[in-house]
C-alpha cells in the first residue's frame, strides 16, 4: 500500500492549503472551504485534500458539498484510508455499514503509534487493561496456558496478562503498533492480522482478550464466532464495548467508533456458545473531559 499523500504534490496548492488551515483555526470554515477548492483546482487528484475539504464544509454546515468532497476522496482512494465512507454514513449520505474500512483502521493506528500510550493513558485516563485483568483473575486464579491478545496495540493489555500466562500471542492490524509491542519483549508471537477476518490455526487457547477493540469492528457476530472456535471448552473471553442506549444493536458514532447495546452483546455471545460470567459498567476512557461509558465483559466458552 502506498503511503498516504499528505502533500498535494503541488507547491502552490500546498501553500493555499496551509493558508486555509490558518483561516480555519480563526473560525472561518466557509472561507476556508473556498481556499481549499482553489488548492484542489491545482491538484485535483489529491484525495487527502478532498477529504479535508469535506471536513471543513461539514464544519460550515454545507453537508451536500461535504458529501461531494468525501465521495471524490473515496473515488480517488478506494481503499479509504481516511474513512470517507464513514463520514458519508454519519451525515446520512451512505447506507449504514457493519464495519469500518480495514485500511482506515490500519492507517489510523499506524499514524497514532508513536503517541498512543502517552495520549491514551496519560491524557485520556485509560485504565481498561487493569480492569479486565482483575475480572479475569477474579474468575480464575491459576495460570493460563495460551492467551490471545486481539488488537494488542502497543502491548498495554499484554503487560497485564504476561504475569499469569505461559504463552502470550498478540494480533493487530497495525505494523507500527506491533513494532512498539515487540520492543517490550512480552509476547511469544506477534502477528499482523485484520480482526474482521481473524482466524487461528494453532493450539486452542484458554484465554482471549480484546481490550477497547470492538469499537473498530462494528458487527460482532463473526469475531465472536472466530473466538469461540479457537478457545478450549471453559476458556475465557474478556473484552469491552462502548455502551449504546437505545433499540439498535450497534451504531457508528461521530468519533467514527462503534457503540454496542448490552442486549446485542448478550445475544451474540449466547449464539457463539458463551455463558456470561460478568458484565460491569466502566469508564473506558475520557473524551473532552467526559467519561466514555462502556461495558467490561467476561464470558466463558461452554462445552461443545
> 134 and 76, same structural domain?
no
**How does DSSP classify residue 26?**
T
Grid cell locating 174: 497495525
Is residue 121's pLDDT more than 90? no
pLDDT digits (tens, 9 = 90+) for 225-265: 999 999 999 999 999 999 999 899 999 999 999 999 999 99
CA–CA distance, 7 with 10 (Å, rounded to integer): 8
Looking at residues 140-149, what average pLDDT do you find? 96
CA–CA distance, 253 with 250 (Å, rounded to integer): 10
Asked whether residue 104 is domain-assigned, the answer is: no
Residue 78 binned pLDDT confidence (cut-offs 50, 70, 90): very high
User: Domain containing 19 — which CATH number?
Assistant: 1.25.40.10
Given 49, 68, 95, the domain boundary residue is 95
> 89 and 119, same structural domain?
no
Given 95, 122, 139, the domain boundary residue is 95
Asked whether residue 108 is domain-assigned, the answer is: no
Looking at residues 279-291, what average pLDDT do you find? 90
Tell me what pLDDT residue 119 has.
86
Three-state secondary-structure class, residue 78: coil
Tell me what pLDDT residue 5 has.
63
> 148 and 73, same structural domain?
no
Domain residues for the domain of 73 are 11-95
**Least trusted range by pLDDT, from 59-73, 134-148, 279-293:** 279-293
Residue 170: beta bridge partners? 149, 190
Asked whether residue 132 is domain-assigned, the answer is: yes
Tell me what pLDDT residue 33 has.
95
CA–CA distance, 215 with 242 (Å, rounded to integer): 7
CA–CA distance, 292 with 275 (Å, rounded to integer): 26
| Total tally of structural domains belonging to the chain | 2
Looking at residues 167-193, what average pLDDT do you find? 97
Asked whether residue 147 is domain-assigned, the answer is: yes
Asked whether residue 1 is domain-assigned, the answer is: no
Average pLDDT, the chain: 94
> 209 and 73, same structural domain?
no
> 58 and 156, same structural domain?
no
Asked whether residue 103 is domain-assigned, the answer is: no
> 274 and 150, same structural domain?
yes
> 223 and 120, same structural domain?
yes
Tell me what pLDDT residue 1 has.
43
> 146 and 248, same structural domain?
yes
CA–CA distance, 209 with 221 (Å, rounded to integer): 16
Tell me what pLDDT residue 124 has.
81
Looking at residues 171-198, what average pLDDT do you find? 97
> 156 and 235, same structural domain?
yes
> 199 and 252, same structural domain?
yes
Any alpha helices (H) in the chain, and if so which ranges? Answer: 11-25, 29-42, 47-59, 63-76, 84-90, 102-112, 116-117, 128-139, 156-161, 175-184, 221-230, 262-271
Given 34, 67, 95, the domain boundary residue is 95
Phi, psi of 224 (to 5 degrees): -65, -40
Tell me what pLDDT residue 4 has.
56
Asked whether residue 100 is domain-assigned, the answer is: no
> 185 and 60, same structural domain?
no
> 214 and 78, same structural domain?
no
CA dihedral 47, 49, 51, 54 (to 10 degrees): -140
User: Domain containing 271 — which CATH number?
Assistant: 3.40.50.150
Asked whether residue 106 is domain-assigned, the answer is: no
Amino acid at each position: 500500500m502506498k503511503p498516504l499523500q499528505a502533500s498535494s504534490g503541488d507547491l502552490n496548492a500546498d501553500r493555499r492549503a496551509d493558508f486555509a488551515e490558518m483561516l480555519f483555526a480563526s473560525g472561518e470554515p466557509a472561507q476556508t472551504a473556498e481556499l481549499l477548492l482553489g488548492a484542489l483546482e491545482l491538484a485535483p487528484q489529491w484525495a487527502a485534500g478532498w477529504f479535508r475539504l469535506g471536513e471543513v464544509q461539514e464544519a460550515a454546515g454545507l453537508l451536500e458539498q461535504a458529501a461531494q468532497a468525501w465521495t471524490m476522496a473515496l473515488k480517488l482512494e478506494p481503499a479509504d484510508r481516511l474513512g470517507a465512507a464513514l463520514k458519508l454514513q454519519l451525515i446520512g449520505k451512505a447506507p449504514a455499514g457493519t464495519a469500518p474500512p480495514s485500511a482506515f483502521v490500519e492507517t489510523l493506528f499506524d499514524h497514532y503509534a508513536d503517541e498512543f500510550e502517552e495520549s491514551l493513558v496519560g491524557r485520556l485516563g485509560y485504565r481498561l487493561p487493569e480492569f479486565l485483568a482483575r475480572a479475569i483473575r477474579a474468575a480464575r486464579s491459576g495460570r493460563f496456558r495460551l492467551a490471545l491478545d486481539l488488537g494488542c496495540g502497543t502491548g498495554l493489555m499484554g503487560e497485564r496478562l504476561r504475569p499469569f500466562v505461559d504463552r502470550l500471542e498478540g494480533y493487530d492490524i497495525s505494523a507500527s503498533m506491533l513494532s512498539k509491542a515487540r520492543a517490550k519483549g512480552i509476547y511469544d508471537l506477534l502477528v499482523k492480522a485484520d480482526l474482521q477476518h481473524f482466524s487461528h490455526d494453532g493450539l486452542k487457547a484458554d484465554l482471549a482478550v480484546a481490550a477497547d477493540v470492538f469499537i473498530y469492528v462494528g458487527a460482532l457476530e463473526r469475531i465472536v464466532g472466530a473466538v469461540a472456535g479457537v478457545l478450549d471448552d471453559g476458556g475465557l473471553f474478556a473484552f469491552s464495548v462502548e455502551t449504546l442506549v437505545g433499540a439498535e444493536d450497534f451504531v457508528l458514532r461521530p468519533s467514527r467508533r462503534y457503540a454496542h447495546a448490552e442486549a446485542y452483546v448478550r445475544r451474540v455471545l449466547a449464539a457463539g456458545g458463551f455463558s456470561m460470567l460478568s458484565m460491569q459498567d466502566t469508564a473506558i476512557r475520557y473524551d473532552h473531559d467526559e467519561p466514555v461509558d462502556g461495558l467490561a465483559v467476561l464470558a466463558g466458552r461452554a462445552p461443545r
